Structure 1
Amino acid sequence: MKSANIVLKGKQQVELLCEEAPVAPPGGLLVRTRTSLISTGTECICYRSEMDEDSHWAGWVQYPFYLGYSNVGEVFELGEGTDGYAIGDRVFSSSSHRQYAAVAGRPIKIPDGVSDESAAWSKLATIAQTGVRRAELRMGARVAIIGAGPLGQLLTQYTRLMGASEVMLIDTIAERLEVGRAHGATEAFAGSAADAVSFVEQHTDGELADVVFDATGHYAVFPLALKLVRRFGTLMLIGDSPHPSKQVLTADVLTRQISVRGSHNEMLPPHAEGWDAVRQMGLFHTYIERDQMRVEDLITSRFAPQEAPGVYAQLLENRAETIGVVFDWSRLGNFKGNQLCP
């Protein structure tokens, strides 16, 4: 059996390849993909392939590189000794954009009340949820979020759920801010973080934000974000810059005693270890079922997998008009690569 897989073969060289399908690992599953979500920030960094040589990005992106980590599929085959799953069960895994995925361990089952396109956000939602937990928000906190892309939209919804009194969303793209307002942002600023100090002061009685989330992943935003944090406040770095050597630490950390915290994937400190990825995903699914969060309407583009080369080229040139981008694997049909993929 063959599998059509989206592969980054070199710098800005994406292909849909027909490769041997894997088998279900012992205790695991073989999953047939239904929908996969592009993490536009991360995957565009991988596609652009411009990063500090000593960064973790350089060690991670090795060709051929299989893009993607947000996969919704149905159980196609059970591995030896696997129990608790049935053929046809829908599951979420961090598998790449591929037609068939071998999934080890016990991926989370998707509840009936959660659509494929909502479930595809499970990984990004867990990354955002981890960042909010790391920030240790208190009820009534005044929050600023820089970047209204996928992570920024999720942070907006989570911080409102956590009881933030002000959720100030900052982005240069007005359309993204409108989406953020519809999903919980109390205020929006269309412009650069460099020009947002007076905006944040206006909505915090001149005190600035208790917590600022930098969800851009751009090294130039780091010093600008520090200017928006109140004295003794917290800056959360959610976006991951491929050029950490260019990030500049300003005197604000010392003179205004600001705490800078990083958040990566689902890693939490020991006192919060009970909230692993599966449990956080389960909570996200509960919020979706209760209509306390909405993500399906964050999807702005849907493509067939065979359109992948053009999709990534387009995103690199201009992703300002997109938020959520998915591959619909039901549109794969018969694909001819090196050989026919049935």
Structure 2
Amino acid sequence: MNGSNQMQSRAVVFTGPRQVEIEEITVGDPGEGQVQTETLVTLMSMGTELICYRAESDPGTHWHGWVRHPFYPGYSAVGRVTRLGSGVEGIAEGDRVFYAGGHRGAANVGMGGGHTVRVPDGVSSEEAAWCKLATIVQTGVRQVEHGMGDTAVIIGLGPLGQLMTQYLRLLGLSEILAIDHLQARLDTATSHGATATFCGSAADAGEFVSDHTDGELADAVYDVTGHPAVFAMALPLARRFGTVMLQGDCPHPSKQHLTFDVLTRQLRVLGTHNEALPPKLARWTAEKQAALYLRYVERGQMQTGDLITHRHKPEEAPEVYARLDADRGNSAGVVFDWQ
């Protein structure tokens, strides 16, 4: 700290499409209801951050209005509290907190709104960094309203698909069918609860799904890819009156299209975004969903530490984004270590 109680730190910033820099930033005093944190670790949300990195999306979408340069990526940070603003209760200096903040070495974060939660002692900082992604996935799963013994297909076993596999296992589904082009991702999904896997395109997975659902097809199909072509591949895999959930957020929705399955087999198509839930489920706030995820991790009912495949220093950010933009197939959890 200098005499004016300002802290100098660093932040990852996108200065233009596919342009990444490390910027010097100044963090002032925490305001009312805020805590100041020194960042321990930040987790990349690969799908979202690469869309923002490329800055390519359909006009009129939320992507098009959101990504403006300079753009500060990231929303999954764990830090140690160093100072308290006025009016803060239930948190102390030295505590670790998860907050929906970007890739930066220090920040003032608000304690309201459910996006900042204290990390229990039994949860590592790297595990806690998954809180935001875990609540996003939990929100999608809740909206499908599964019953015990349901069957589900997960298309895309990146970070969100891996979390979804574990949630569906906890819910007691009878079949959790994982589809991806990469065998390594499918092996990870199997270790966390997938009951059967298909290595290849969802367009070719109809027989596989039928064989594992007694010919009925799946109660629910989750498209977790964000790729526009996959939506039309997902629809034929759902049973009559089944559900297709768009968990992956496609930046080019104009390229997604329906198939006849929606009408002739009367499918229910759902979308999910962040932690927004309809009124009948609204008691599951972002804060409650994050706390549930942390409880599962603390009890050993969910594992995310083994999903982390790459650890980097913040200075490596330009190379990290360029590498993932070219090929992210072998990456799941990618973290920046700020310690």
TM-score interval (norm. to shorter)? over 0.9
> How many residues are aligned here?
330
- Superposition RMSD in Å: 0.8
* Pairing of 1:149-164 with structure 2 (within 5 A): 149-164=158-173
1:98 to 92, 95, 104: 104
Q: Which of 16, 33, 36 lines up with 1:27 in the alignment?
A: 33
- 2:56 matched to 1:50? yes
One-letter identity of the residue aligned with 2:318: P
Aligned to 1:24, what secondary structure does the other structure show?
A: coil
Asked if residue 177 in structure 1 is aligned to residue 186 in structure 2, the reply is yes
1:310 aligned onto 2:319: yes
**Equivalent pair of 2:88/2:111 in contact (CA under 8 Å):** no
CA distance in 2, matches of 1:6, 1:132: 32
AA in 2 matched with 1:155: M
User: Secondary structure of the equivalent of 1:66?
Assistant: coil
**8 Å contact kept, 1:232–1:259:** yes
Q: Does 1:243 align with 2:252?
A: yes
How far off its partner does 1:292 sit? 0.7
Letter in 1 for 2:122: G
Q: Which residue of 2 aligns with 1:84?
A: 90
SS in 1 for 2:284: coil
Structure 1 equivalent of residue 3 of structure 2: none
CA contact (8 A) 1:22 1:100 kept: no
Preserved CA contact (<8 Å) 2:123 2:298: yes
Q: How does 1:219-258 map to 2 (within 5 A)?
A: 219-258=228-267
Alignment match of 2:126 (pick from 117, 120, 126): 117
Q: Is the 8 A contact 1:30 1:103 kept in 2?
A: yes
Q: CA deviation at 1:105?
A: 2.8
- Cα distance in 2, alignment partners of residues 203 and 124 from structure 1: 29
Amino acid at match of 1:186: T
Q: Which amino acid aligns with 2:32?
A: P
> Counterpart amino acid of 1:110?
V
Q: Is the 8 A contact 1:67 1:97 kept in 2?
A: yes
Identical amino acids, percent of aligned pairs: 55
Residue pair 2:111, 2:117 contacting (<8 A) in 1 also: no
Q: Distance in 2 between matches of 1:9 and 1:53?
A: 20
- The equivalences for 1:262-301 within 5 A come to 262-301=271-310
Aligned to 1:259: 268
Q: Which consecutive aligned stretches of 4+ in structure 1 deviate over 3 angstroms post-superposition?
A: none
Aligned partner of residue 250 in structure 1, secondary structure? coil
Amino acid at match of 2:243: T
For the pair 1:68 / 2:74, whether they are aligned, the reply is yes
| Aligned-partner Cα distance in 2 for 1:172–1:37 | 24
Name 1:217's counterpart in structure 2. Answer: 226
Say which SS state the counterpart of residue 80 (structure 2) adopts: strand
Displacement of 1:23 after TM fit?
A: 2.6
Matched residue, 1:5:
11
Q: TM-score, normalised by structure 1?
A: 0.95
Cα separation, 2, equivalents of 1:289 and 1:19 = 34
Gaps of 5+ in 2: 1-6
Once residues 248 and 201 of structure 1 are traced to their aligned partners in structure 2, the CA distance between those partners, rounded to angstroms, is: 23
Deviations 1:80-129 (A, max 9, x none): 22222111110000010101111113421000010001000000000011
